[in-house]
Chains A and B, each alone.
Chain A
Amino acid sequence: DVLLTQTPPTLSATIGQSVSISCRSSQSLLDGDGDTYLNWFLQRPGQSPQLLIYSVSNLESGVPNRFSGSGSETDFTLKISGVEAEDLGVYYCMQATHAPLTFGSGTKLEIK
């Protein structure tokens, strides 16, 4: 199975600060069709996960543009440019290039 390693496991930020979360894959996530199926989710406390970014860098409809994704092959990054209070929760990366689909272990964002 593809292992996704997220760092850091926890992150503490002040409002307005920019932060980045890393997701490293044990295998290249570049699919034979040319797409890279790496998504990012936010799970707020007591809620279901919410899709933020799909295919590395595509912002899901309705998601604020302070969220951005980048990367390729095995190294990916989610950046929040100016953290807001509503951004607290656990962030997960997920790959859908290789079966079985797998998720990272999560990065918990706390607001100082």
Chain B
Amino acid sequence: QVNLLQSGAALVKPGASVKLSCKASGYTFTDYYIHWVKQSHGKSLEWIGYINPNSDYTNYNEKFKNKATLTVDKSTNTAYMDLSRLTSEDSATYYCSRNYYFDYWGQGVMVTVSS
């Protein structure tokens, strides 16, 4: 069965970076895009961008272009998102999701930015 397993919660200091992971299983990793979505506490969802694991092509929401960097490691079927120069505004739960229809989602990872 399809599963997207995300890395554990992160507590990071302001100005630092964090790398989140999303390990895919149960399907051919290169067949589907991986999207990343941000959900601030108690709020709605924001699309960050997607990566095509087959070509490494990325497409970002302009709002996150200088914040997030998406990569994949095909050898381990894992997608990554680097978040840089973190501020309190980046404290949120981040999800990875598969496919154009967002048919499967990871369990989410909470990132807390605090000194």
Binding site for B on A (CB under 8 A): 37, 39, 41, 48-51, 54-55, 60, 92, 94, 96, 99-106
**A interface, over-half SS:** loop
- CB-CB under 8 A from A37, the residues of chain B are 100
B47 interface hit (Cβ, 8 Å): yes
Complex Cα distance, B63 from A54, in Å, reads 25
* B47 x A39 contact (CB < 8 A): no
* B44 x A99 contact (CB < 8 A): no
- CB-CB under 8 A from B101, the residues of chain A are 39, 51, 54-55, 60, 96
Complex Cα distance, B50 from A100, in Å, reads 11
* B47 x A101 contact (CB < 8 A): yes
- CB-CB under 8 A from B102, the residues of chain A are 39, 41, 49, 51, 94
* A48 x B106 contact (CB < 8 A): yes
* A104 x B44 contact (CB < 8 A): yes
Contacts A39-B102, A49-B105, A94-B102 given; 9 further ones with Cβ under 8 A?
A: A49-B95, A51-B103, A55-B101, A96-B100, A100-B47, A101-B47, A103-B44, A103-B45, A103-B46
* B95 x A48 contact (CB < 8 A): yes
Complex Cα distance, B62 from A60, in Å, reads 30
* B105 x A48 contact (CB < 8 A): yes
- CB-CB under 8 A from A99, the residues of chain B are 59, 61
Cβ contact of A48, chosen from B47, B100, B107, cutoff 8 A: B107
- CB-CB under 8 A from B107, the residues of chain A are 48
